[in-house]
Amino acid sequence: VSGAPEAVFTRDLRRHYPRITRGEGVYLYDDEGKRYLDGCSGALVANVGMGVPSVVEAIAAQAKSCAFAHMSVFLTEPAIRLAEHIGSRAPAGLRHVYYATGGSEAVETALKLSRAYFMERDGAPSPKSLVISRWHGWHGNTLGALSVSGHVPRRRPYGLMLPPAVHIEPCNAYRQPYGPEAADWDLRAANALEAAILCEGPERVAAFIAEPVVGAAAGAVAGTTRYFQRIREICDRYDVLFIADEVMAGFGRTGRYFSIEHFDTIPDLIVLGKGMAAGYAPMAGVLVHDRIYDLFAEKSGRFVHGHTYNGHAIACAAGYAVQEYMEEHRLVERAAVTGADLGRRLQALRKHELVGDVRGLGMMWGIEFVVDRAAKTPPPRRLDVSGRVTNEAMKRGVIVYPGAGGVDGVLGDHILVGPPFVIKDGEIDELIGAVDEAIVAVAPAVFATRA
């Protein structure tokens, strides 16, 4: 082992990080020869797995021909091809890609673009600048994206630095607050948006942002069709843009190209990331509806924004090659079919007393832990159930993505399971076997404390 690891400022300085030297399909290999099945695709990023030759070749070819040309002056072929490809597969009217390099930067872009839209339309200074979002949703770690995020443990240290944002309740079937008789719980959750807009004043509200299927903050919590259609109605009624954050759930992850397609709703902006280049390059963006693009085109033509690496030529080439590979191998359809099978097998984990809920869509699944299933009581935070299950799974060579705080900001332990779409049958067995054993390993300590 060479090199001083402290040269890298890692997220947790006390943790041992295995050094990965190779990736192939759903597996990563470290320098000691240990193999890890990546059961969460990094953070639901590596949708096509590692080592896809056509993607590697596309990256090399682009690096050779032209690695970088600044988008304030130039366009490149891969930037145009990738945007066209995405626009041709997206819901009607969403056809223009503003490029970014990561999900948070793309969320910042969407927030600023909604503000800029109203300034273009109504003339500066339009008072429309406030963005409404949801508790227990996740939009990123930069200050603007964090301000609209509802992931309390990640917000709390930086609360004083965050620009104003308003949060409404989430749409979570398992944790809905209205009681089992409330058949209209999802509509009530959506109506919270109207109440918030009225309280803040519609003239001040620019946008509502939400994940159609919530990822990191709550663990694969899907909305409903009625919910998103009501959200759309409310946004239209009060002249508010609807931003769907598809950074995690987009590009086939849920078995549709975009997860909002499950809910028959057309947003004004879709935030893109992760699966766009599936980890082969940092790549993200905002997919913009015609009516917004056209307004800019008719008015000033300018969106005052931009970052150095927007539309980076190699990243765009990687993204296009990934999207082509997905198309050639029908990976969105495969995510739907394999995902249904994965979900069926994960449901069997409900046999454990520690498992309160197993939920998800396509290749995006969440397992929420409880200490009392009837009362849905979350485990005490100090037991760090999600972290322990994750560590036990990792000891068994399987990686999952832990999360906490999804119930009330402190309590609420879950893991996310979201392997690459190319995972094979036997690999699913290996993944579920390790999670099963990890839960068995953690449960005694949890229930011993209760007794």
14 burial type by CB count under 10 A (0-12 exposed, 13-18 middle, 19+ buried) = exposed
Between 59 and 221, whose beta carbon lies closer to ligand PLP? 221
Place of tokens 């240990």: 34
Rg (CA), the chain: 22
| H helical segments located in 329-424 | 331-347, 385-395
Task: Report if residue 212 touches ligand PLP, rule: CB under 6 A.
Answer: no
Does residue 100 contact residue 310 with C-beta atoms inside 8 Å? yes
DSSP for 228-247, written as a single string: HHHHHHHHHHTT-EEEEE-T
Task: Report if residue 245 touches ligand PLP, rule: CB under 6 A.
Answer: yes
Q: Binder to ligand PLP among 104, 254, 259, 386 (CB under 6 A)?
A: 104
Does residue 387 contact residue 402 with C-beta atoms inside 8 Å? yes
Q: What are phi and psi of 381, to 5 degrees?
A: -60, -35
Task: Report if residue 285 touches ligand PLP, rule: CB under 6 A.
Answer: no
- CA atoms of 222 and 132, how far apart (whole Å): 19
Task: Report if residue 107 touches ligand PLP, rule: CB under 6 A.
Answer: yes
DSSP for 127-173, written as a single string: S--EEEEETT----SSHHHHHH---HHHHGGGGGGPPP-EEE----T
Query: Which of 85-93, 209-217, 376-384, 442-450 is the region at the interface with ligand PLP (rule: CB under 6 A)?
Result: 209-217
Q: How far apart are CB 200 and ligand PLP at their closest, in Å?
A: 23
Query: Which of 49-57, 138-146, 394-402, 433-441 is the region at the interface with ligand PLP (rule: CB under 6 A)?
Result: 138-146
Cross-strand pairs, 134:
168
Task: Report if residue 219 touches ligand PLP, rule: CB under 6 A.
Answer: no
Between 379 and 406, whose beta carbon lies closer to ligand PLP? 406
Does residue 364 contact residue 249 with C-beta atoms inside 8 Å? yes
Q: Binder to ligand PLP among 134, 136, 139, 312 (CB under 6 A)?
A: 139
- CA atoms of 9 and 361, how far apart (whole Å): 35
Between 213 and 446, whose beta carbon lies closer to ligand PLP? 213
State which of positions 22-61 bind ligand PLP (CB under 6 A): 43
Q: How far apart are CB 398 and ligand PLP at their closest, in Å?
A: 20
Task: Report if residue 103 touches ligand PLP, rule: CB under 6 A.
Answer: yes
Between 82 and 106, whose beta carbon lies closer to ligand PLP? 106
Q: What are phi and psi of 367, to 5 degrees?
A: -120, 120
Query: Which of 152-160, 240-248, 261-269, 317-325 is the region at the interface with ligand PLP (rule: CB under 6 A)?
Result: 240-248
| Helix, coil or strand: residue 156 | helix
Task: Report if residue 170 touches ligand PLP, rule: CB under 6 A.
Answer: no
Q: Which of 248, 423, 398 is nearest to 334 (CA)?
A: 423
Q: How far apart are CB 396 and ligand PLP at their closest, in Å?
A: 25
- Output the CA torsion sign for 13, 15, 19, 24: negative
Q: How far apart are CB 258 and ligand PLP at their closest, in Å?
A: 12
Between 50 and 243, whose beta carbon lies closer to ligand PLP? 243
Task: Report if residue 220 touches ligand PLP, rule: CB under 6 A.
Answer: no
Residues that bind ligand PLP (CB under 6 A): 43, 102-104, 107, 138-140, 211, 215-216, 245, 247-248, 273
